[in-house]
Amino acid sequence: MKITKFPQSCILVESLGTKILVDPGKTKCDEKFLDYWKTADAVLITHRHGDHCFVPAIKQLSAPVYSTKEVQDFAKDLKINIIKQTDVFNIGKIKVEVVAAIHGYISEAGDIKENVGFILDDGKTRLYITSDTIRFKNNYKADVLFADITAFDASMNLWGATATFNEVGAKLLIVAHQDEGRMMYEQKQIEDYLKSQNIEYIIPAILQSFEI
């Protein structure tokens, strides 16, 4: 499974001849990203905040878009394939499991009523994409955790991400949501903490590609 990282929480996942784009947002969005995004076979959106769902860019893509009814109500110009927690479907040979996510409350950004995460499974690797979520009890299992981490109550802090990493049985943590926003950690602080917990991690740069 190959990952290409874009700003904030956006990644392009490639495996078994299929490309899935997750959360193309407006944060530091650049026209050159569209050259990558237009190759996607499908687009997954976790929730309606602009750093995860940039409508003007998504409108330029031909791939089907999967997200919640709340995103459809917000982005009326998009044709959304409505999904909900517990749904399971395939995009090419990749299985997509739609899982729970609980967005922390940010009044000025709009309260999120429907938020989802995704587990992508190509038969060799299970990639759990958390979305912006506070920590909650679940029984998910994954090899790789892609987590939005902030020192802010909209999503998991370092301790919560570490606890979630251990609970799902992951072997690699990919740190996201580090390109813009309030209450971001300093990279050294993240690195020092994760090393102290003996966690293998990647803090990917924009447009960095890597195999998991």
pLDDT digits (tens, 9 = 90+) for 61-71: 999 999 999 99
Q: CA–CA separation, 61 vs 59, rounded Å?
A: 5
Q: CA–CA separation, 13 vs 120, rounded Å?
A: 9
In this structure, the dihedral spanned by the alpha carbons of residues 36, 38, 39 and 44, taken in order and rounded to 10 degrees, is 90
What's the pLDDT score for residue 106? 76
Q: What is the mean pLDDT of the chain?
A: 95
Q: Which two tokens stand for residue 43?
A: 């687009």
pLDDT confidence of 109, banded at 50, 70, 90? low
- Closest C-alpha to 109, from 61, 153, 168: 153
In this structure, the dihedral spanned by the alpha carbons of residues 203, 122, 116 and 77, taken in order and rounded to 10 degrees, is 100
What's the pLDDT score for residue 35? 97
What's the pLDDT score for residue 183? 67
Q: Which two tokens stand for residue 24?
A: 């193309």
pLDDT confidence of 151, banded at 50, 70, 90? confident
Which of 34-48, 142-156, 175-189 is predicted with the least confidence, judged by mean pLDDT? 175-189
Share of the chain above pLDDT 90, in %: 90
Q: Which amino acid is at 112?
A: I
| C-alpha pair distances (Å), 142 with each of 108, 154, 167 | 33, 23, 9
Q: Which domains does the chain carry?
A: 2-206 (3.60.15.10)
Q: CA–CA separation, 65 vs 63, rounded Å?
A: 6
Sheet arrangement for strand 116-121: 88-91, 94-100, 116-121, 126-129, 144-148, 172-176, 201-202
pLDDT confidence of 95, banded at 50, 70, 90? very high
